């Protein structure tokens, strides 16, 4: 193989062969996914992830920061509790919607309870004190 500019041969060996290109078929109809209700993780009680498992869209740390910057406290409370892993709160909000009331009383997320059990497994005691405002 020769250099096209100078006409001199290359010092190293060069691989020569056919180049193949394949088209990836990404269709919008196959990408669309929505979830109103669906399965939850047995340990954390959070919605499963991914379209294949009929899961929800993850609301990540940076998205939380963005809503904090906008001051959307009630949206964050709803997303991170009753729409995630607050089982009791999810039940209460459903009952209030059936009764026609508009209340959101978030409870303790199941992921926090998992963390508390892990801390207790390390031999540390954890007590929660609720303070009335």
User: Could you read off the pLDDT of 51-94 as tens digits, one per residue?
Assistant: 777 777 778 899 999 999 999 998 888 888 887 878 788 888 88
* Domain of 44, in residue numbers: 39-121
Q: Could you give the CA distance from residue 120 to residue 88 in angstroms, rounded to a whole number? A: 22
Q: Is the pTM above the cut of 0.85? A: no
Task: Tell whether 62 is covered by a domain.
Answer: yes
Nearest to 36 by CA among 77, 110, 94, 86: 94
Is 53 inside any structural domain?
yes
Number of domains in the chain: 1
Residue 9: inside a domain, yes or no? no
User: Does residue 43 fall inside a structural domain?
Assistant: yes
46: in domain: yes
Identify the helix (H) or strand (E) that includes residue 67.
Answer: helix 61-70
Query: Using the 8-state DSSP alphabet, how is residue 35 labeled?
Result: -
Residue 20 is assigned to a structural domain of this protein: no
For residue 13, being part of any structural domain is answered with no
Q: Please check whether residue 2 lies inside any domain of the structure.
A: no
């Amino acid at each position: 193989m020769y250099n096209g500019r100078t006409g001199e041969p290359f010092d190293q060996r060069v691989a020569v062969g056919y180049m193949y290109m394949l088209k990836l078929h990404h269709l919008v109809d196959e990408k669309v996914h929505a979830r109103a209700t669906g399965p939850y993780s047995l340990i954390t009680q959070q919605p499963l992830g991914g379209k294949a498992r009929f899961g929800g869209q993850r609301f990540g740390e940076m998205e939380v920061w963005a809503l904090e910057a906008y001051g959307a406290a009630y949206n964050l409370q709803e997303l991170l509790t009753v729409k995630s892993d607050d089982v009791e709160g999810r039940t209460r909000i459903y009952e209030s919607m059936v009764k026609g009331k508009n209340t959101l009383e978030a409870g303790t997320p199941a992921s926090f309870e998992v963390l508390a059990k892990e801390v207790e497994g390390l031999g540390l005691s954890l007590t929660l004190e609720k303070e009335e405002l």
